[in-house]
Amino acid sequence: MTVTSPLGFEAAGVAAGIKASGALDLALVVNRGPLQNAAVVFTSNRAQANPILWSKQVAADGVVGAIVLNSGGANCFTGPEGFQVTHRTAEAVGEVLDISPGDVLVCSTGLIGDQLDGEVLAAGVVAAAAALATTGGEDAARAIMTTDSRPKTSVRSGDGWSIGGIAKGAGMLAPGLATMLVVITTDAALEHPALDAALRQATRVTFDRLDSDGCMSTNDQVSLLASGASGVTPDEADFRAVLTAVCRDLAEQLQADAEGASHDIAIEIIGAASELDAVEVGRSVARNNLFKAAIFGNDPNWGRVLAAIGTTSATFDPYDVDVSMNGVRVCSGGRPDRPREEVDLAPRAVHVLIDLRVGEASATILTNDLTHDYVHENSAYAS
Amino acid sequence: MTVTSPLGFEAAGVAAGIKASGALDLALVVNRGPLQNAAVVFTSNRAQANPILWSKQVAADGVVGAIVLNSGGANCFTGPEGFQVTHRTAEAVGEVLDISPGDVLVCSTGLIGDQLDGEVLAAGVVAAAAALATTGGEDAARAIMTTDSRPKTSVRSGDGWSIGGIAKGAGMLAPGLATMLVVITTDAALEHPALDAALRQATRVTFDRLDSDGCMSTNDQVSLLASGASGVTPDEADFRAVLTAVCRDLAEQLQADAEGASHDIAIEIIGAASELDAVEVGRSVARNNLFKAAIFGNDPNWGRVLAAIGTTSATFDPYDVDVSMNGVRVCSGGRPDRPREEVDLAPRAVHVLIDLRVGEASATILTNDLTHDYVHENSAYAS
């Protein structure tokens, strides 16, 4: 149940030979219409890969016919030759599908600084086009994997319409949608402005609140393609709710498969003066290596939580904050409360609740612990 | 050669019984005059330990007679009882030295949230006072160690005067002088305003540019005490230069002993539009876990450098930046230059040179790699 679950889409995933391992490495998702509306959000990193530079132009008019994605190389900081490879890939897709290359989004993921072979990609596009099927979403989900241990897919239905998605990403997950490629499809009949507003609202409270390791990628892209094939134009609020559910499901799958992680940590901030404050406070904890290493060691070290939030500019009194871990209030009013020994951090899921006690706003940031496996995987990535 | 090298100072380090191990855990440094001028800088974390709250009041008038420091507990988020312990410690020092408690700085380091025993500290102060000696600086340097593997000391001389220092700190090193206790003494005859200006200028370009793990402590304090015992009032520029040299020496010792680190990394930014830009760019690299893990693996992954600096707001073109690692230019103009295989990252010292190519400003940030030992030490700190 993936991007080919909604009506009007075909997909494929093939082994184009980009990865030396021979694994699937090129995916193609095609919108057969009748509508070809789309909305796309991109990494906010100023260092942007060639596919991002290209896709921003493609997305500008809100019309997208297909999206081609490769793993095995980020095509970032590869100069004008690298941009030519992206352009060539879009042209190959345009040719086999008989659509304008200017309606073809391109995504790449892998090591920065390595040149991709345009011939290999173009041949992969031909093979993918031949394999296109209304059941091809699973292969597409596999073809975009890098260090992911499993494909990520999600489907939710509305009243006569549905939304499906695939995602990859295991490291470099941070605000600005880091190292994450996501393709979401829908057969709902919606125009670009409605799609764009819904996608921005959904990503703001899902992918943008996943901060696995504080590192922002150069290649992130979340694309939403609408075929209109259901013939149904849903209520916009309904559509946003279902889209947000799909994005949250995929974000949680990304968190659960984060490189080397042994805990999935939800940092819930309540009692904040504003949502912005809540997000800032939550993110300061999510990015604190000492806190993250403590959770890896099943150590409910709440002092590191307070030391982290003390670095923010959010409105609160550091000496009047409550902190609970997995249901045990270890700190209240800035002082020790229940003994830390009562906290059980053995489960993979960890819930840290921080009550700032100044307002009504709240937010939850998702992160992971800092583990030996994280260090190992990321010290050996290039090899 | 420590805080007792300049004339007019006595120090001691004793085992007061705060640490269960029986190691030295309480240090006392006394300024015998004739002057008792001082300047102090504190952590910029809003979550501040009780000794910070106390010492800020003490430092306000620029007069300090003594400083007492304990390891074995941070006395942070321990409520009013914790503040009473700090107050009691200062009173004990005032009593044995016959000076006002209001002229006694207090520093603590260790786990947040554990209550210290005021009786134990007071007895330790009595023992330390009995052990005071003009050769006691080495013991004082040892008594403030936590996870430090060795004491940090430094001495530099001017023309007829000198500056000596001791420091502790191995983790939580970040801007705002994180988890760092530093005591610097001088026998130069200088008033508070000159000391204060010199200390702020020196820490700004030394301790503030050490960012081992991006985590800011609740307990940092750098104190500069002047006895005037040399009878010499140095030229202020000379004094600043020597003070900066002592601070840089201590900062580099802190970096070299950072928890679990296997590389000392100097990130030098040149060609920046402003010093502020250079610092922001350097810090973004120093805080990037993917970059730090790559260096641990001896992987010259320059893509992660560019991905990190792309998240800053500094003025530069991400596609016109040069990056060298240990003398090999691996990226020029935002494209691959020399093969990464030419970079030798086997030595502990790593030099990353980033030329932003837009201006004349520069700065160097010191950091460490992200290692298995860092994860291990910080996942087991509380145990």
Distance, in Å, from the CA atom of B104 to the CA atom of B84, rounded to the nearest integer, reads 14
Main-chain phi, psi angles of A203, to 5 degrees: -70, -30
pLDDT of residue B170: 61
Distance, in Å, from the CA atom of B354 to the CA atom of B321, rounded to the nearest integer, reads 7
pLDDT tens sequence across B328-338? 999 998 889 99
pLDDT tens sequence across A215-246? 777 888 888 999 999 999 999 999 999 999 99
Please tell me the distance in Å from B269's CA to the nearest CA on chain A: 17
Q: Name the band, by pLDDT with cuts 50, 70 and 90, for residue B299.
A: very high
SS3 A131: helix
Name residue B314's amino acid: A
A-proximal residues of B, 87-146, CB under 8 Å: 111-113, 115
Residue B322 half-sphere exposure, CB side, CA atoms within 13 Å?
Answer: 14
pLDDT tens sequence across B76-93? 888 899 999 999 999 999
Does the structure show a pLDDT above 80 at B176?
A: no
Q: Strands, E, within chain A: which ranges?
A: 9-14, 26-31, 37-42, 66-70, 104-108, 152-157, 162-168, 181-186, 221-226, 264-272, 322-325, 328-332, 335-336, 349-355, 361-368
Q: Looking at the partner chain, which of A112, A115, A375 has a beta carbon nearest the beta carbon of B296?
A: A375
Cβ contact, residue pair B381, A319, below 8 Å: no
Q: Does this complex have an ipTM over 0.95?
A: no
Name residue B310's amino acid: G
Cα A286 from chain centre: 16
List the single best residue of B85, B112, B211 to mutate versus A (max A Cβ within 10 A): B112
SS3 B188: coil
Name residue A282's amino acid: G
Name residue A154's amino acid: S
pLDDT tens sequence across B306-328? 988 988 999 999 889 999 999 99
Positive or negative, the Cα torsion across A44, A45, A50, A53?
Answer: positive
Which residues of chain A does B296 touch, with a Cβ-Cβ cutoff of 8 Å? 375, 379
Closest CA to B194 of B234, B167, B166: B234
What ranges do the domains of chain A cover?
9-256, 264-379
Distance, in Å, from the CA atom of A214 to the CA atom of A148, rounded to the nearest integer, reads 18
Cα A248 from chain centre: 9
Q: What's the Cα-to-Cα distance from A166 to each of A154, A155, A180, rounded to whole Å?
A: 7, 9, 10
Burial bucket for residue A83 (CB in 10 Å: 0-12, 13-18, 19+)? middle
Give yes or no for a contact between B258 and B368, defined as CB atoms under 8 angstroms apart.
Answer: yes
Residues of B marked active site are found at 179
Residue B52 half-sphere exposure, CB side, CA atoms within 13 Å?
Answer: 27
- Whether residue A171 lies within 8 A of chain B, CB to CB, comes out as yes
Which CATH architecture is the domain B264-379 placed in? Roll (3.10)
Contacts of B245 (CB under 8 A, 6+ apart): B156
pLDDT of residue B171: 46
Paired tokens of A382? 């290039």
Q: Which stretches in chain A have pLDDT values below 70?
A: 170-179, 381-383
Distance, in Å, from the CA atom of A37 to the CA atom of A47, rounded to the nearest integer, reads 28
Cβ contact, residue pair B77, A306, below 8 Å: yes
Contacts of B101 (CB under 8 A, 6+ apart): B87, B90, B91, B93, B94
Q: Strands, E, within chain B: which ranges?
A: 9-14, 26-31, 37-42, 66-70, 104-108, 152-157, 162-168, 181-186, 221-226, 264-272, 322-325, 328-332, 335-336, 349-355, 361-368
**The pairing of beta strand B104-108 with beta strand B66-70:** parallel
Rounded percentage of chain B residues whose pLDDT exceeds 70: 97
Which residues of chain A does B288 touch, with a Cβ-Cβ cutoff of 8 Å? 214-215
Distance, in Å, from the CA atom of A366 to the CA atom of A351, rounded to the nearest integer, reads 10
Instruction: Please state which CATH number belongs to domain B9-256.
Output: 3.60.70.12
Tell whether residue B10 is among the known ligand binding residues: no
pLDDT of residue A77: 87
Distance, in Å, from the CA atom of B210 to the CA atom of A265, rounded to the nearest integer, reads 29
Tell whether residue A56 is among the known ligand binding residues: no
Tell whether residue A154 is among the known ligand binding residues: no
Q: Name the band, by pLDDT with cuts 50, 70 and 90, for residue B290.
A: confident
Q: Looking at the partner chain, which of B112, B309, B374 has a beta carbon nearest the beta carbon of A306?
A: B112
pLDDT of residue B151: 92
Across the A:B interface, residue pairs with CB atoms under 8 Å apart total 202
- Give the residue from chain B lying closest to A321, CA to CA: B77
Contacts of A375 (CB under 8 A, 6+ apart): A260, B293, B296, B370, B371, B372, B374, B375
* CA max distance for chain A: 67
- Whether residue A381 lies within 8 A of chain B, CB to CB, comes out as yes
- Whether residue B53 lies within 8 A of chain A, CB to CB, comes out as no
pLDDT of residue B179: 63
pLDDT tens sequence across B191-239? 999 999 999 999 988 888 888 877 777 888 888 999 999 999 999 999 9
Q: Is there a catalytic annotation at residue A179?
A: yes
